Structure formats: structure tokens, C-alpha cells
Amino acid sequence: MIVALPVLTPLLIAALMICLWQSPKARIGVSILGGVLQLVLGVALFAQVLPAGHLVTQFGNWPAPFGISFVADYLSAGLVLMTGVLTLAMIVTSNVDVDSRRRQYGFHPLFFVLIAGVCGAFLTGDLFNMFVWFECTLLASFVLLSLGGEKKQVRGGLQYVVPNLFGSVIFLSGIGLLYGATGTLNFADLHQKASLVHPGLLASISGLFLVCFGLKAAVFPFFSWLPTSYPTPPPVITALFAGLLTKVGVYALVRTFTLVFPMEGIIQTVLITLSCLTMIIGVVAAASQKDFKHILAYHSMSQIGYMTAGLALGTKFAFAATVLYMIHHSLVKANLFLIAGSVERTSGSSELPSLGGFHKARPFLAILFVLMAASLAGLPPSSGFWSKLFVVQSSLRIEQFVVAGVMLAVSLLTLFSMVKVWNEVFLKEPKEPIPPLKSAVDHWPIAFVAVTVLLFGFWIQPFSDYALEVGQQLSTPQIYVEAVLGVAR
């Protein structure tokens, strides 16, 4: 039952929020309660999965593969826990960042539906059900994105939703074709039946999934929706998106290409190539931007390349690296957007030329930024350093020198753009004096996420142990299949 709670609870909270449409004070209270609950549930689920390996719930008690299964393995549980951390940080920040007008028009319920959709996608063991959670996430994020109806938001919203709907169409077509070819939708069952399908046909169908999940993850050339839409809404919404949405795409790629489709041959080559292009193009564009949020948005795209490359390499160590990278990047990037948000709230802009002086005016924020930026650039000993180390090492292990080289070169430009932000936003003399901090709530959530990231960096052992366990599980899908379908089958 615990497996379904991270999805059902936020939905319940969302419903409650709709009932509280007229009482803004109560909504804030309930929202913080919801954030705490999400984190608690994440921890609880993780603690239960840790000894068991897999936890499975069959909805309506219909046996798999006939009903819908929810499966929490190490990967899913870890991502749900990460979602919990971010949920709490974001919901607290949203109370200072999102204006009352937006809160009045359903920010809170939408937020929790989004969280439910993300967790649903992480936990479901059924391909079509995953599509449903994807739609949930997509629509909630679209409305959040355009909530407020500013002109740039509506434009950004369209840039976001139309390409994503294209992705959904491909996803749905893929599901139809795969169901036609295998006659099942359950991941575990698909694992068994997919091997019986003609390899050429299976590869073609897997191409559809590569495209639609690649689009959700913003892999080149399916990336344009990300940099055009991310900088438009209030920063906390962007932070939420940057932390979670693209990761759902990466997760779906990992899930399907370890469990259902073989990662080999042309598909592998294509994914490796696209990953490298994503890294390079993203970082080159990021380094050239002149706006804090735009820099971060393009980095989101660039960093996705590391994760998909890890998946494409296809070894146990590479999977472990991918998972570490996902968790690291979610936390760090979301936090950087929160910092950008705090800067924007103070100065009224996120354009580098008009900023400056935050080192003196906000020393605590400066320290937090340095920690996060160093982590994003992969400087030791941060979460980003370890993630980079593992992913580069696993590509060297199988002698993929070009991939390793690209990863290292890209991190130099990442460092460059972080130094650029540091110089322009923090060190440079400000044009106008910076007003004193209004409320300390501004920095708490950032510090909270930063502590998690620091823990990751300085006490890497448990994280790497966990990641290796995930790698082990992903490279031996039989265990997953047995856990879902039962050993006897």
C-alpha cells in the first residue's frame, strides 16, 4: 500500500486545496503539511524498499499483468525520495515567490497534481498507466507555466505544450504498436514478451519511445521547448520543472531501455550521439547567455546528455552513474533556480548586466550559490564531481573515449558559465544598492536542499552504494520480473 501513497496523498491534498479555494491562509498551511507528508512518505517508502529490493502493489488486487501494478525498486524509491525533498523546498518557497493572484487561481492544487503525476510515473509498472501520469504532469505543468497569463508566459506555454503533445502522440502510438506486437502493457510482462518480437520491429518501436521520452528529457534535437519556456514563469515553478520534469523523461528512458527494449546496435549509437550533441549544444548555448535563468535553462538541457549517455553505455556502472547524476542534478539545478529566484525577487531582474553586489549584500546566499555552482560544474568534492567521476569512468571502462572527452570538455564550459554568474551577480559592484532581506524564509529552502547536496558530496559512500545497487537491479531485470509476476509464473 505504501507504494501508492506518494501518488494518492498529493492527489488528496490537491482535492483538499480545491475545497479550500476561498481560504488562502488555510491553503498555505495545508500546502506545507502536504510538502512534509511527501517527504515523510518518500523516506518511509525508501526505508521499506531498502531491505526488500522491490515492493509491489496490484491495484484492485487484479493479478499482474492484468491489472495495473505499482512497483518500487531502488531506482523508483530513490527518485520518489528526491521528489519529496524538492516538494518541501518548493512549496515553502512558493509562499514567498508566487504572488497571491496566482495562488488564488489554483497554484496549490496544480502543484500537487504535478507531484502526483511525477511520482506516478516513477512508480507505475504499466506502460499505459505511465502515459496517464505523463499527461497529468504535462497538463499540470502547462497550466502552471501559463498561470497568470502574462504575454511571455502564454507564448512560453505554447512553445512548451505543443511539442510535448507531439511527444504524447508518439508515446501513445508507440504503446499501441507495442501492445499490438506483444499483447501486454505490464513492464515485467513486456520484458518477457518483447524478446519474442521480431528484432527489427522491436527496434523500430523502440525508436518511437526514444523520441518521445527523449523529447520529455529535452535531448537534442527535441529540446527547443525547454529553453523557450523555462525562463517565463515565476522562478519557483521553473525550479520545480528543472528538478523533476526532464528527469521523468530520463527515468522513462532508463526504465524502458533496461526492461523492455535492448540498448544495442543502432539505437545505442543514436543515443550516444544525441547525448553528446545535447551536452555540447546545451553548454555552448548556456555559456553565451546573458541572463541568469537562461544560463540555467540551457544547462538543464546540457546536463541531460550526461544521464542519457550513461544509459546508452549500458553497463552496471554506467547505470549507477546515471542514477547518481539524476538525483544530483535535480537537487542542484532546482536549487540554482531558487537562488536565481531570490536574486530576481530582490533586484527585479535576472539579466546579468543589471545585477551585482550580492556577495556583500547576501553573504549566505553567496555561499549557497558557490556550493551549488561548484557542484554543477563538477568541482570536487561535490555531488557533481562524483556523478561526473562515475559517468566518465564508466565510459572509460568500455573505452568510449570520445564520450568521456565530451563530458570533460563540457564541464569546463559549465565551470565557465558558473564563474560568469558568480562574477556578474555576486562580485561586481551593483548599479543600485541592494535592499535588505525581507524575510529569512527566502533562504531556508535553499539551505535545506543545499544540505542534502552537501551530504551527497562529502559522504558519498552510502550514495554510491545505493547507486551501485540500482545499477545491479537495472542490469538484472529478471529480479524485477519475478517480483511483479511472482516466481511461479
Rounded Cα distance, 50 and 39, in Å:
16
Rounded Cα distance, 273 and 288, in Å:
23
Stretch that binds another protein, among 41-49, 81-89, 282-290, 305-313 (CB under 8 A): 282-290
Q: Which residues inside 199-218 make contact with another protein, applying CB under 8 A?
A: 199-201, 203-205, 207-208, 210-211, 215
User: Hey, how many other C-beta atoms are within 10 angstroms of the C-beta on 440?
Assistant: 9
Identified binder of another protein from the candidate list 23, 24, 33, 173, rule CB under 8 A: 173
Buried b (16+ CB within 10 A) or exposed e, 358-382: bbebbeebbebbebbbbbbbbbeeb
Is 35 a binder of another protein (CB under 8 A)?
Answer: no
Angstrom CA distances, 361 to 106, 283, 370, stand at 34, 30, 15
Is 363 a binder of another protein (CB under 8 A)?
Answer: no
Residue closer to another protein, measured from CB, 196 or 439? 196
C-alpha cell at 34: 502536504
Q: Which residues inside 301-330 make contact with another protein, applying CB under 8 A?
A: none
Hunting for cell 518511509 — which residue is that? 44
Is 353 a binder of another protein (CB under 8 A)?
Answer: no
Residue closer to another protein, measured from CB, 257 or 442? 257
Give the H/E segment covering residue 70: strand 69-72
* Contact assessment for residue 220 and residue 270, using Cβ atoms and an 8 Å cutoff: no
Identified binder of another protein from the candidate list 190, 236, 259, 285, rule CB under 8 A: 285
Q: Which residues inside 121-140 make contact with another protein, applying CB under 8 A?
A: 128-129, 132-133, 135-136, 139-140
Is 221 a binder of another protein (CB under 8 A)?
Answer: yes
CA Rg, the chain, in Å?
21
Identified binder of another protein from the candidate list 42, 65, 234, 243, rule CB under 8 A: 65
Q: Which residues inside 416-455 make contact with another protein, applying CB under 8 A?
A: 416, 419-420, 423, 427-429
Is 51 a binder of another protein (CB under 8 A)?
Answer: no
Closest CA relative to residue 118, chosen from 321, 334, 356, 270? 334
Residue closer to another protein, measured from CB, 201 or 441? 201
**CA dihedral sign, ordered 94, 251, 267, 179:** negative
Is 281 a binder of another protein (CB under 8 A)?
Answer: yes
Identified binder of another protein from the candidate list 24, 29, 180, 353, rule CB under 8 A: 180
Q: Which residues inside 226-255 make contact with another protein, applying CB under 8 A?
A: 227-228
Closest CA relative to residue 266, chosen from 193, 210, 198? 210
Is 367 a binder of another protein (CB under 8 A)?
Answer: no
